[in-house]
Structure 1
Amino acid sequence: MSVDAHARAVATTVSPPVPARRPSPGPAEAVVVIAPLSLTIALGLWGIRRQNTMWGDESVTYQLAHRDLSQIWHTAQHIDLVHALYYAVMHEIFDLFGGGLLTLRLPSMLAMSVAASGVGLLALRLAGPRAGLLAGLVFPLLPQVQKYAQEGRSYAMVCALVTWATYALVVSVPRRARWRWAVYGSTMLLACLLHEFAVLALVAHGVTLVVSRVPRPVMKAWSVAAAGVVAGLLPLAIYSAGQSEQVSWIGGPVRLRYFLVVAVVGVACARAPLGVKGPVRLSALAVPILVLPGLLLLIASLVKPLFVDRYVVYGNIGIAVLLGAWMDYFHRLRRSSRHAWIAVVAVLAALVQPSLS
């Protein structure tokens, strides 16, 4: 063998392999995003005007968001500081699109639609395409989701942000890139600034990582991100504590039965072997986000009543993911998929009854 031929052979042997190209999103991902988004928009637009009426808290949004930003800030120093960012956002939306009833409610409807897509992608990553599609389609059928998708308050936006923060968490665990944790932390912080009780989702995420026994570097990265969220929320929490009289109307748990029903159903679904093997298991993620925020509010209510179902509406992420994965599991047992749909319709009917009471 000549010297040149030998050199080429050595170079071929030691040269690093060409990195594989990252696959582009396939049709499954597109369907999981588009189908839940479309269904949520369709359901949200249906009767969104509610015969041109608005309820009490919506009227507060309507009145305050029509004021100047300086007036909103002045009012927030005396009452409703926890919603000041939401009022400021709605003020800008009213300036851009007009201050009518549709403009009041469309941001919530669009936010829930984005949340539905996030729920689908979350279940897809944890349990596969069919579970993702089913979870994304179940989410907008949940009575609580339908209600707050047509309400001019911050809860739908908070739900969307918590959904995508949860997705960022799941994506960040195996890859550990710092910018992914920055995205997770900033998304969670924005959710908390829109409503303080979104911080309870942060607790659920921590429990998920502990139960999943993630490596120490992952736990450290999450801790840094969580500390940033708490530090960013702390000034708002301190100043708003002086306005605690505005929740004095809560004499006891408000619409507790819905939370209890979905918690029981979710835990029952989690008993099945759901999802695929990975650093974060589906049940370890879905059960805490479903149960813990509401449970912590109930525990806090032993000192001061604080439980209102809309404060933790993002818990519906957990029940949707669990139901979607459970139906997928049911289908994989080679039973009729019709039976799975009958079962989930029965579950949804059970959820409707406590939500209407």
Structure 2
Amino acid sequence: MRYLGGTVRHGRISICTGPAVLALALGLWGITREHSMWRDEAATWQAAHRSLPEIGHLVGQVDVVHGLYYAVMHGVFALFGDSLVTLRLPSVLATATACGLTALVGARLSTGVAGTAAGLALAVVPAVQEHAQEGRSYALVLAFVVLATWLLVSALERPDARRWAGYAAATLIAAWLNWFSLFALVAHGVTMVCVRPGRTRLARWALAASGAVTAALPVILTSRHQSSQVSWIKPLGWSTVLGVLITVAVAALCTRLPQARGRVRPRAQEPLTRLNLAVVALPLCAVPQVGLALISLVKPLYVTRYVLFAYVGLALLIGVLLATIAARLKTDARALLPVAVTLALLALLPFELRLRTEESRIDDVLSAAARVGDVRDTADGVLYIPAARRDTALVSPHEFAGLRDLALAQGPVASGTLKGIEAAPHDIERAMLGARRIVLVTDPGPLRADTVRDLTKQRVLRTRFVRCSASVVRGRQVDLYERGTCHRTEGPDALRTSSARRGARG
């Protein structure tokens, strides 16, 4: 028996090692992205540097959906120091774990070859590669959703309290990291309906699921009062709809393969004749994407990273497709899978190369901060339009040494916000008129003022100051304004660009 257990354990290791190693290698490749950090990661950076009580103060007002992640990253920075590597390494490790677990799910529901192929397919998915190098929570959500799926299959085959408790815990942690992960719970509900596991198993699943949802309710309800944070999301476009339809259609076609619908023999006494890979993978692929898309018809919410875990379902079915091709060609899968992965990576090479540069994200706060450092000695004040661009200084405060924040009334930490609280418009105007030269950090292109405070900044700059220089730096613009006549040799429209002009979200 000990030998048999060792054999099973060795088999599991051999199945998941390849996908995990591939995901780890892709995640570590160019992890610093040419020493760049975009605005979402800047939010993680500044929040993780706060104390746990300060993080609690923050999430009571904004970003409650990321509260657990900020606390985790606070611990990571405390243990290993703050750097771009430590910012992104948890996501790399989570992605590698997710790919390994996906392989185990595929092997449990189909064959070892299908499982390994599924894990490799997930590692190669472009969106998964992108978020493996992101200092945000989405890769961790992916890992816990896959873990919950693996525990669900395990609990259905061999029901016991420990497995159901683990399933509930994994589902809850995923929801605390981002409650959109509960779409996976709905997908699991569809699986339960298809499997018809009997009253006992169904009751245990319902108990675990309801427990996870109940424990996640405080986060869900609080986030409803912070809905303004997702006001930037655009209405559902036809390209997004088409992408969802194609993904779900490919997954549905793959469910017709015999290996996807083959019966799994559970080791429990009561057989589950309807449990197979198709009834697990297709809902996991379709429900999150279609569900969020339908909600977005009423309130725009669809962003791919919110349902990144849906690619697990697609990867499981692609794994079955590759295993079927290997069987039909009578080819050794150990030779076919490396070839398939190599071809996929080569086909995606232009995307992969760009993904690991500063150009892959909408902006780079580090480059913009460095540009401010170049001009700060000639200025005595700084402004931000919109106020959210203050993250440039919060991530690299040393580059802003000696510059007075002319609009800030209460700092981000004290106010429990990410961008601080700005003074009244007349106070901002008075502070601006007391400055000789002002650095403005904004988005590329014409100034876009959406608040009374920003309109005041824009009006005073236009009527009382002259723009001496403007530099577009990787998705952000740094301007230098002077009272009266500009004494610089550059014209007001001289631009130093290190990247092409790109639109930026407000």
Q: 1:128 corresponds to which residue?
A: 111
Structure 1 or 2: larger helix share? 1
Cα deviation, residue 123, structure 1: 0.5
Q: 1:309 corresponds to which residue?
A: 304
Q: Deviations over 1:257-301 (max 9, x none)?
A: 544432222112112122431232101000000110111111111
Query: Which deviates the most, 23-32 or 145-154?
Result: 23-32
Cα deviation, residue 253, structure 1: 3.2
Q: Deviations over 1:172-194 (max 9, x none)?
A: 00211011100000110010001
**1:273 paired residue among 230, 242, 258:** 258
- Counterpart amino acid of 2:68? L
**Number of corresponding residues:** 338
2:32–2:85 CA contact under 8 A, matched in 1 = yes
Q: 1:76 corresponds to which residue?
A: 59
**Does 2:155 correspond to 1:172?**
yes
For residues 295 and 242 of structure 1, what CA distance do their matches in structure 2 show?
25
Q: 1:23 corresponds to which residue?
A: 5
TM-score, normalised to structure 1, is 0.88
Structure 1 or 2: larger strand share? 2
- Counterpart amino acid of 1:23? G
2:244–2:290 CA contact under 8 A, matched in 1 = no
Q: Deviations over 1:181-211 (max 9, x none)?
A: 0000011001000101011100000101111
2:103–2:115 CA contact under 8 A, matched in 1 = yes
For residues 154 and 139 of structure 2, what CA distance do their matches in structure 1 show?
23
Query: Which deviates the most, 246-255 or 185-194?
Result: 246-255
CA spacing shift, 1:289–1:93, aligned 2, 3 Å: same
Unaligned runs of at least 5 residues, structure 2: 265-271, 361-506
For residues 68 and 183 of structure 2, what CA distance do their matches in structure 1 show?
19
| Segments of 4+ moved more than 3 angstroms | 19-22, 257-261, 334-350
**Does 2:314 correspond to 1:328?**
no
1:294–1:312 CA contact under 8 A, matched in 2 = yes
Query: Which deviates the most, 269-278 or 70-79?
Result: 269-278
For residues 121 and 77 of structure 1, what CA distance do their matches in structure 2 show?
38
**1:296 paired residue among 271, 274, 291:** 291
Secondary structure at 2:58 match in 1 = helix
1:323–1:344 CA contact under 8 A, matched in 2 = no
**Does 2:228 correspond to 1:233?**
no
- Structure of greater Rg: 2
- Counterpart amino acid of 1:153? R
Percent identity reads 40
For residues 347 and 281 of structure 1, what CA distance do their matches in structure 2 show?
29
2:18–2:120 CA contact under 8 A, matched in 1 = yes
Superposed CA RMSD: 2.7
Q: 1:287 corresponds to which residue?
A: 282
- Counterpart amino acid of 1:300? I
CA spacing shift, 1:26–1:65, aligned 2, 3 Å: closer
Cα deviation, residue 251, structure 1: 1.8
**1:89 paired residue among 67, 72, 75:** 72
CA spacing shift, 1:274–1:348, aligned 2, 3 Å: farther
For residues 330 and 267 of structure 1, what CA distance do their matches in structure 2 show?
17
**1:195 paired residue among 166, 178, 199:** 178
Secondary structure at 1:303 match in 2 = coil
**Does 2:22 correspond to 1:39?**
yes
For residues 70 and 115 of structure 2, what CA distance do their matches in structure 1 show?
34
- Counterpart amino acid of 1:194? L
Show the 5 A alignment for 1:218-257: 218-253=201-236, 256=240, 257=242
Q: Deviations over 1:17-47 (max 9, x none)?
A: xx99963324331111211111111111111
Unaligned runs of at least 5 residues, structure 1: 1-18
Query: Which deviates the most, 33-42 or 262-271?
Result: 262-271
For residues 207 and 21 of structure 1, what CA distance do their matches in structure 2 show?
38
Query: Which deviates the most, 326-335 or 338-347?
Result: 338-347
Q: 1:16 corresponds to which residue?
A: none
1:253–1:308 CA contact under 8 A, matched in 2 = no
